[in-house]
């Protein structure tokens, strides 16, 4: 349980560290195709990413659940 701070620090670093890159890409797209189409394209990428993650979620659950059970993170409510 002592790794929570490290995980949160990595998540923050990864999220905030990508903001300048995303702004650069959005600016480049906006100069080529215009701001409204850039927003539309960004939204379409988000929707595509959501559906991709949703499709892979059952496989991820099967892989992660035994680890959570061995660490005692999931109470046995069903039994």
The residue extents of the domains of the chain are: 4-71
Q: Is the pLDDT of residue 2 over 80?
A: no
Alpha carbon of residue 20 to chain centroid: 17
Q: Give the residue-averaged pLDDT of 52-74.
A: 89
pLDDT, tens digit, for every residue of 28-48? 999 999 999 999 999 999 999
Mean pLDDT of 68-74: 82
Of 12, 45, 7, 50, residue with least CA distance to 26: 45
Structure tokens at 48: 């595509």
pLDDT in the model for residue 48: 97
Distance of CA 62 to the CA centre of its chain: 19
pTM: 0.63
* CA separation for the pair 29, 22 (Å, rounded): 10
* CA torsion, ordered 34, 36, 39, 43, to nearest 10 deg: -130
């Amino acid at each position: 349980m002592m790794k929570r701070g490290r995980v949160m620090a990595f998540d923050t670093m990864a999220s905030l560290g990508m903001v300048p890159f995303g702004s650069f890409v959005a600016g480049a797209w906006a100069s080529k195709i215009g701001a409204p189409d850039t927003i539309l394209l960004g939204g379409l990428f988000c929707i595509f990413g959501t559906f991709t993650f949703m499709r892979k979620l059952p496989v991820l659950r099967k892989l992660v659940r035994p680890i959570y059970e061995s660490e005692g993170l999931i109470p046995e409510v069903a039994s």
